[in-house]
Amino acid sequence: MTDQATKGWRPYALLVLLCLGLYLPGLVNLPVTDRDEARFAQATRQMLESHDFLDIRFQNKERNKKPAGIYWLQAASVSLFGNAESNAIWPYRLPSLLGATLASLMTFGLGASLIGRKAALLGAAMLAASLGVVVEAHLAKTDAVLLACVVAAQWALGRTYLDSREGRATGWRFAFMFWLAQAAGILVKGPVAPAVSALTAAALAIADRDGRWLKSLRPLYGILLLAAIVLPWLVAISSATHGAFLRQSLGTDFFGKLIGVQQDHGAPPLYYLLLLSVTFWPGVLFLGPAIAWAWKHRRGTAERFLIAWAVPFWIVVELVPTKLPNYILPAYPALALMVGRALLAAGDGELVSWRWLDRVVAIVWALATFGIAAIVLLAPMNYGDGSAAGMVAAAIALYAGARLTIATWRKISPALAARAAILALLILPIAFAFVAPGLDRLWLSRDAAMLVAAHPPPKGVPVAAAGYAEPSLVFMLGTRTMLVGADRAAAHVASRRGALALVEARDDDAFRKDLAKRGWKPRELGQVSGLDYSNGRRMTLRLYEGVRQ
C-alpha cells in the first residue's frame, strides 16, 4: 500500500468505491426476502399509506418489536426515490446500504486515531467486504444502520479513552457524538448500541482499575441530550399503544431473547465462533495473526480498547439462548481493526504470530471459500435453470481462493488484504446480482405476483391467499392481500366475478369443496411451484377465479 493511498480524502474515496461495488449489485433485482425484510418494508409502506408514522403495523396487526427509527429512514428513502404503491424493494434497502458504508468509513476514522491510517484502511476494507455486512447492506432491516450507530459511538468512546491514556483533554464534540449515536441506536434497535459501549467501558475500567476518563463524555449533559431525542417518541408510542409497545418490545422481544429461545432460533455457545468463517469472510483469513498480535500487545491502548470492545460483547451474545447470524456484527469492526494492525505489523517485519493458529485459520478459510463456491455453483442447478454466472463465480473462488490460501500459508503481508477484498469484489456482486435472483424456485412470492399481474383482478379487489402466508406476498401484492384459510378464500372468489385466490396444493380440495357449496366452480389461471425457504416446505400455488355453476 502506498503512502498516497492513505492521505487526505483518498482512503474515504477508496472505501466508498469498494462499498458501492459490493452493495449496489443485486440491490434492485434481488427479490424481497422473508420474513424480517418483508415485514419491515411492509410496515414502512403502511406508514406511508396511512400517514401515521407512530403506529407500526403489518396489515392490521401491531408490530411492537423494534423502535420506529428504521421505518422512518425507509419511509424517507421511499418518499425520495419511489412510492408506496410500487412493490420495488430497492428504495427500502437504501438506508441499509448507507449504514454499511458509513460503518466502514467510521471504522477507518476510529482506526486512524488508534492504529494509524494504513492499518485502519486495511481493517475498514475487511469490514466492508465481510459477507455478513454485505448481506445486511442488501436487506431492508435494522442491522446495517445499527452497525453504523455502534461504530459512531465506539469511535467517540475510543477517542476519549485514547486521549485519557495520552494525557489530552477530549473536546465536547466527541461527547456529543457519543450520546447522539446512542440515541440513534436506541431509535433503531433499542438497547443494543448502549450495551456494546457499556460493556466496553466496563471492561476497560476493570482492566485499568480506573473509570475516571468516562467523565470526559459529560454524562449528565449526554443523558439529557439522549432523553430529549428518545423520550418524546417513547412517550408518544407508549400512549398510542397503552403501554403495549414497551411490554412487547422490551419484555417479550428483547428480554425474552435473553432468557429463552424465540422463533426456533436457538443454538449452543460457540455458535458465532463456528459461523465466523463465513460471516467474516474473507477477513477471517487473517484472524490468526490478529489474535496473536492483540494478545501480545494487550497492554497497548489500541489493542486494549479493541479487545474490550469485541470480547465482552462476544461472550454475552454467545450466552444468549436466541441466536441469529446478524447479532454478532457489532463486534466485527473491532476484529477488522485488529486484522489491519496485524497485517501492517507483518509488513514491517514486527509480527510474531502463532503459526499453528495461522494454519488452522487458513484451512478453515479455505473450506469456507470452497463452501461459497459450491453454493454459487450448485444452487442454480437445484433452484434455477443453471447459471453461467454461478460457474464463473465458483471458478474465481476456487482459483483465487487457493492462491490466496497458499500465499498466506507461506507469509502474511498487507498486500494479501487487498487481494482478499478484490476476491470478495469479484464473487459477491455476481452472487447477489445474478445467482440469487435467478433461483426462481425460491422466489414463490415473486412468481405468484407475476402470475397475478398477468391475470389482474378488478380494480380495488384484493387477492386472497390460502395455505401460503409469507410476508413477501403481502409486500408484492399490496397491503389488502388476504392471508386466509380455504373457506374464506372460497368466499372471496364467490363474492364477485373476477376475484382471485392463490391456493396452495394442500388446501386445494378444501377450497374446491367450499366453493362448490356456494354454487361456484374454480377456473385455474395458472400455477407456480417452488420451495418456501422460511419453513422448508415445497409448495404449488394455483391461481383461481370463480365461475358460477
At which residue does the C-alpha cell 386445494 appear? 508
Q: What integer pLDDT is reported at residue 386 of this predicted model?
A: 78
Q: What integer pLDDT is reported at residue 321 of this predicted model?
A: 85
Q: What integer pLDDT is reported at residue 549 of this predicted model?
A: 76
The dihedral of CA 30, 32, 36, 37: what is its sign? Answer: positive
At which residue does the C-alpha cell 466508498 appear? 16
Please, what is the Cα angle at 117 between 163 and 114, to 5 degrees? 25
Cell of 79: 418518499
Stated as kind and residue range, the H or E segment containing 94 is helix 90-114
What phi and psi, each to the nearest 5 degrees, are found at residue 58?
A: -115, 110
Q: Tell me the β-bridge partners of 539.
A: 530
Choice among 9-18, 341-350, 364-373, 428-437 with the minimum mean pLDDT? 341-350
Amino acid at 138: H
CB contact at 8 A, 520 and 433: no
Confidence class of residue 342 from pLDDT cuts 50, 70 and 90? very high
d(CA 74, CA 77): 5
Per-residue pLDDT, averaged over 401-423, amounts to 93
User: With pLDDT > 70 as the criterion, what percentage of the chain qualifies?
Assistant: 96
Closest CA to 217 of 184, 169, 185: 169
* Residue-wise pLDDT tens digits, 450-507: 999 999 999 999 999 999 999 999 999 999 999 999 999 999 999 999 999 999 999 9
Cell of 297: 500487545
Q: Is the peptide bond before 35 cis (omega within 30 degrees of 0)?
A: yes
* Residue-wise pLDDT tens digits, 161-173: 999 999 898 889 9
Amino acid at 434: F
Per-residue pLDDT, averaged over 380-401, amounts to 93
pTM, to two decimals: 0.95
Q: Tell me the β-bridge partners of 523.
A: 545
Amino acid at 428: L
Please, what is the Cα angle at 318 between 312 and 320, to 5 degrees? 105
Q: Is the pLDDT assigned to residue 4 strictly greater than 90?
A: no
The dihedral of CA 141, 142, 146, 148: what is its sign? Answer: positive
Q: Tell me the β-bridge partners of 502.
A: 465, 543
Closest CA to 516 of 486, 490, 482: 490
* Residue-wise pLDDT tens digits, 496-537: 999 999 999 999 999 999 999 999 999 999 999 999 999 999
**DSSP 8-state class, residue 251:** I
